[in-house]
A and B are shown apart, each in its own frame.
Chain A
Amino acid sequence: METRKKILSIDDEENIRLLLSCELEDEGYEVISLGDPQQAMEVIEKEHPDIVLLDIKMPQLSGMELLKMIRDKYYDLPVILLSAYSFYKRDVAAMASDYYVVKSADLTELKKLIKKIFKTRL
């Protein structure tokens, strides 16, 4: 039996976490939701997710900072940055993510990218 792909979703907003986990679980993924980005490295170490969905603007620790930490330790772990603002796409640091998605209630683009990552994973 094929094991379900594991997605770690990091967002300080509970509603967003709920939306992501409901929709992505319906797609057949296992979703771990995390509200506190400061615990992210520990959770990644323990859970070995296949993809990380990362909110950029979080009060405890910015997604960009966390992305740097992830990249430094886990070069191969795909990360999708999520933000309500397309502005952050211009940040050089955002280029260290696999993809950048502007947040929306319609998760079609995000689902497509997740499928693409799993299909083309090196």
Chain B
Amino acid sequence: MTAPSALNNETRKSVAAIARADILVGIPSYNNEKTIGHVTEAIKLGLAKYYPDARAVIFNSDGGSEDQTRAVFERIAKTDSYDTFFISKPRHPLENISGRYIGIPGKGSAFKAIFEAAQLLGVKACAVLDSDLRSITPEWIQLLLAPVLAKDYGYVCPFYRRYKYDGTITNSIAYPFTRALYGRRVRQPIGGDFGFSGKLLDLYLAQDVWDTDVTRFGIDIWMTTTAIVNGFKICQSFMGAKIHDDKDPGADLGPMFIQVVGTIFNLMGTYESHWRKVSGSRPTAILGFQSETEPKPLKVDVSRMTAKFTEGMSTHLDSYRRILSAEVLAKLLEVAEMAGENMDFPKALWTNVVFDYAVFYQQAPDRQQVLQSLIPLYYGFISSFVHETENLDDYQAEEVIEELCQVYEDSKPYLLKRWGQKKS
């Protein structure tokens, strides 16, 4: 069944008026008036600097912002500021579109509108960039598009330097689990900023996922996994530090966690025949000039996370009895008993918890509740990670994440065993 279009009539008309383009850069937004101007300026300058001869379009796919997001975008996109930045005007004037997408409110629906516009324009390459970025520079445009345009890559993931406690969903599940499942080391699989070919966006639009969590925060992991499994040539571009709106892992990351992890689990069902054959993992090329960058430190509230873990252990105990194997549950109860300031949640235990959840989820009638009950355990693991790495610098913390990845890979036989038990 063909999903309804995410483009409204007005946007469709704007796209039709442009007719053809070589490159489209999309910015999903929702109430981002404070940051979208900077992102738009960087994209505009990057396109002019690195692709002066291309027919380029910049598209703000908005979720119905109540602030001045769209107005700021339009003003910056239209302003001729090239001279101020010592950049020559592009040969073709930059086209810009700002429109409200149609569909389930969320980042994925915004992306779908961007994909549709890019497909209608017949672009060779497309990039998407988050609207809350503070560290973006014009160079990011080249880093995301050049591998597609000049080196025939199908999918470009960002490679950032991030503060050790920024990206905790990535570090505890999205990266290690995707790596263990599909055998590719893509460090920021939900990085938010990607480049991809016209061929890959055709494949994205042909998938029947536009009524799932892919329309929300599940979009990033879905894009990355789809590219990996379908054999697109993938690389990572070194973008420097990622500075964006702060997200304390102890604050409410619940919806994002549920949508990302739910999408990973759904994809396991779709691509079972693929991941079951994979063992170990292979690196992915990293392109771009490497410079020393200092990510912005982020304050984390460990005591709040530990409290959420302890509270969750009593609230969701019945769920844990249903979902986890007896052995895993026994170890988890031991961890909970010792939980305190110096939380110690072993990596192998966390990995097996995730695996048990992944298996149970496949046939669970109440998937949202299942995922909801995983959140306190995630907080428990992150508290433990913070405790383990509090005296380490970002590089040393990265080695701890690498250890976790190895544990995920080495524990894959456990996942396969549990998965097999589910079927029998």
Which A positions have Cβ atoms within 8 angstroms of B? 68, 71-72, 75-76, 78, 89-93, 95-98, 116-117, 119-122
Contacts and interface: CB of A to CB of B under 8 A. Distances in A.
B286 A93 contact: yes
Given A72-B285, A75-B285, A92 B280 contact: no
B340 interface: no
Nearest to A89: B399
A97 B283 contact: yes
B282 A92 contact: no
Nearest to A72: B285
Contacts of B280: 116-117, 119-122
A122 B278 contact: yes
24 contacts: A68-B285, A72-B151, A75-B282, A75-B285, A76-B282, A89-B399, A91-B290, A92-B161, A92-B238, A93-B286, A95-B185, A95-B283, A96-B284, A96-B286, A97-B283, A98-B282, A98-B283, A117-B280, A119-B279, A121-B280, A122-B183, A122-B278, A122-B279, A122-B280
Nearest to B283: A96
Given A120-B279, A121-B280, A71 B290 contact: no
B395 A90 contact: yes
B316 interface: no
Interface string B152-194: 0000000101000000000000000000000101010000000
A75 B233 contact: yes
Contacts of A116: 280
Contacts of A119: 279-280
A90 B187 CA distance: 14
A76 B231 CA distance: 12
Nearest to B277: A122
